[in-house]
């Protein structure tokens, strides 16, 4: 297996130079409400209820530094990049995404059904959902590489069994999406008095998670490799789109971007994976055709 879609080695030190200040700035902005004085410009003609005339870009800067920095450190080639380091990277990505999204789903369960969520987390949920997947991925990757001096730590990725998770996942995704669609049409998606939109979101998210991380009917080596590559590409696409959205949307619109950002990676991953599967299914070999007809 060749290492594909990776960044050159020099991106790693640059990633560290960007990522660490970004994490510090993000922490100061989120916890201490720190804003770089004068770092912004007058975006609107007058102050609104939620939208002020002067828009400070400290949080956008922190997001840019963290996302680019941590992506660089994870996806830059290591000193001696070979098929195993590449495999370890993708396995770490898969593991960290599963861990992050499972934790997120548990949090969502508490929020939707038990209304009990520590404010220290819920107040910073949006920031955490940007930073945590990248951070967990980096920690896992470098742990697998350097935990042992003599050899790499390897662990084959684990999947949920095809039955019942895959089928249940697909049903829940579409059922949840229908619920969200209805809530959007009625304009009550963020209405705190109505409970079913939040339940729909939970069902949708749980469905996506089961669909993305469950085996196909026959999961062989090639499929696992395609699955990993799909996740890598979905990761790039998701964060690239997120950075563009960070530049293009502000205030309440940006809040919507952050909400979509909670599940967009899983969505892109599933789309890419199913597309590859369908494409292969439709490839017909003339020799095979001749044999079966």
Partner 1 sequence: MKNTIRVQRAIHNMTQAELAERIQVSRQTINTIESGKYVPSTVLALKIAAVFALPVETVFSLEDSD
Stretch that binds partner 1, among 116-124, 149-157, 195-203, 271-279 (CB under 8 A): 149-157
Interaction between residue 150 and partner 1 (CB under 8 A): yes
CA–CA separation, 208 and 201 (whole Å): 11
How many helices and strands (H and E) does the chain possess? 11, 2
Residues 1-40 that bind partner 1 (CB under 8 A): 1
Interaction between residue 232 and partner 1 (CB under 8 A): no
Nearer to partner 1, 150 or 220 (CB): 150
Nearer to partner 1, 47 or 83 (CB): 83
Smallest distance, partner 1 to C-beta of residue 14, A: 22
Smallest distance, partner 1 to C-beta of residue 1, A: 5
CA–CA separation, 20 and 70 (whole Å): 9
End-to-end CA distance of the chain: 35
CA–CA separation, 118 and 96 (whole Å): 23
The secondary structure of the chain in percent helix, strand, coil, rounded to multiples of 5, reads 70, 5, 25
Interaction between residue 85 and partner 1 (CB under 8 A): yes
Stretch that binds partner 1, among 12-20, 118-126, 145-153, 158-166 (CB under 8 A): 145-153
Q: Which residue has the tokens 């030190």?
A: 13
DSSP assigned state of 45: S
Q: Which residue has the tokens 């990505």?
A: 93
Interaction between residue 154 and partner 1 (CB under 8 A): yes
Binding residues for partner 1, per CB under 8 A?
A: 1, 79-80, 82-85, 87, 150-152, 154
């Amino acid at each position: 297996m060749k290492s594909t879609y990776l960044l050159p080695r020099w991106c790693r030190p640059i990633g560290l130079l960007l990522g660490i200040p970004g994490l510090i700035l993000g922490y100061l902005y989120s916890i201490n409400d720190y804003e770089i004085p004068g770092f912004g410009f007058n975006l609107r003609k007058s102050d609104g209820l939620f939208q002020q005339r002067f828009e400070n870009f400290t949080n956008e800067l922190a997001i840019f530094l963290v996302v680019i920095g941590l992506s660089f450190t994870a996806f830059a080639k290591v000193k001696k990049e070979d098929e195993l380091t590449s495999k370890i990277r993708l396995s770490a990505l898969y593991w960290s995404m599963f861990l992050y999204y499972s934790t997120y789903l548990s949090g969502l369960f508490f929020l939707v059904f038990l209304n009990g969520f520590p404010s220290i987390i819920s107040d910073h949920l949006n920031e955490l959902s940007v930073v945590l997947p990248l951070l967990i991925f980096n920690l896992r990757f470098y742990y697998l590489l350097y935990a042992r001096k003599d050899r790499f730590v390897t662990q084959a990725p684990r999947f949920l069994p095809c039955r019942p998770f895959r089928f249940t996942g697909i049903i829940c995704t579409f059922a949840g999406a229908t619920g969200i669609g209805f809530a959007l049409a009625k304009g009550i998606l963020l209405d705190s008095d109505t409970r079913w939109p939040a339940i729909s979101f939970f069902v949708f998210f749980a469905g996506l998670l089961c669909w993305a991380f469950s085996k196909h009917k026959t999961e062989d080596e090639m499929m696992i490799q395609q699955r990993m590559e799909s996740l890598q590409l979905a990761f790039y696409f998701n964060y690239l789109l997120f950075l563009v959205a960070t530049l293009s949307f502000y205030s309440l619109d940006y809040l919507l971007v952050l909400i979509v950002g909670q599940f967009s990676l899983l969505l892109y991953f599933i789309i890419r994976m199913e597309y590859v599967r369908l494409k292969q299914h439709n490839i017909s070999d003339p020799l095979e055709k001749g044999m079966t007809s």
